[in-house]
Structure 1
Amino acid sequence: MNIIWHESEVSKENRQQLKHHKSAIIWFTGLSGAGKSTISSALEKELFKKSIHTYRLDGDNIRHGLNKDLGFKQEDRKENIRRIGEVSKLLVDAGLLTLTAFISPYRADRDQVREMVEADEMIEVYVKATLETCEARDPKGLYQKARNGEIKDFTGIDAPYEEPINPEIILDTNQLDITESVTLIMEYLENKGYIGCESER
């Protein structure tokens, strides 16, 4: 195929300098009901207060458009994450802190996303909660449907979830509330130099 990459005259570094903060993917992974969407939404709001340019990609929202042709079998889940990885890479290049909230149950798929970007451009956040806790919360009623056989290939019930081995951040939402979780992430971003005093314009 006659496809040639066309370089931009404005670099990712130029965009980061304009925005006064680094860009990266903050990848939230964990079981349904663990708190990924809730925490990522609260984090986005906190970053916005500090004039940090962000965009948030949420699993359910993406399946309304970009990935509406995909189901939940392993090969579809793999393609779901691959597409999100490519979109996230573009948003990082645009200079944004990109928040993604996806169950993303397979380690290899998350590792593939990490390989798409530079070494310090993916921050894996494991939103950890026991299956019992997630089932007790069951905000969408999905676990009950899975237990009743109405939903097939549901992560944690009849499909596996592979925990991260070395995530940058672990949020145990059996113990931490939303505010505490957001505070831990903000501290990480500040300590690692993704955001800082220049952002507080």
Structure 2
Amino acid sequence: MVEKAGLRERKKQRTRQALIEAAVLLFEDRGYDRVTVAEIAAAAEVSPRTFFLHFQTKEDVLLANADVRVDLALEVIGERRAGERLPEVLVRAMEQMIFNAWDRDLSSGLAALRARLAASEPALQARLLQRYLTAQAELSEALRREFPDRLDVTTAPALVGAMVGAVGAAAVGALRRGEGPDEVRNAMRTAMALVARAVP
């Protein structure tokens, strides 16, 4: 029974990845606006119904690993090590978000495509903003619970916003310059260290 469940999950992940890869290729080749959900499904050799089991909209394909990244960061915050200081927890949470989940986005071309499209597609801009705000609220609340003597309802969101904003801006800048995955990671690390040094 466990083996069947594991096989089913692996098949689900393969289908999800095939949809992401098909979408990236189609968006790159034909432009975001000219690609339909049905075409993405066909390129991945699944039905449109299967597409909608994995993603609500084609914008969501571009945010495929966002929830995974947030969950990884929340796990780090919730499992704070004894004596670990606020800047250390924040950096470790961001490391998990960036380097455990972003690597897939960087290697698949999804991160670069998302950065380009976010500058020109209003529907994607709105979806990205909604996702960023939700993620920042979740991370802020988790940090505030772990550091109630250091953070309140104003300082926690401000700190998370500074970190997420700095890292995101550094990544987008590197991607727009056409830099490779290593350079993008280094830019993100530099931004992360800059914010962490400002946290007492």
Name the structure where helix makes up a greater proportion of residues: 2
Which structure has the larger Rg over C-alpha atoms? 2
Higher relative contact order (CA 8 A, sep 6+): 1
Give the TM-score normalised by the residue count of structure 1. Answer: 0.30
Give the TM-score normalised by the residue count of structure 2. Answer: 0.30
Name the structure where strand makes up a greater proportion of residues: 1
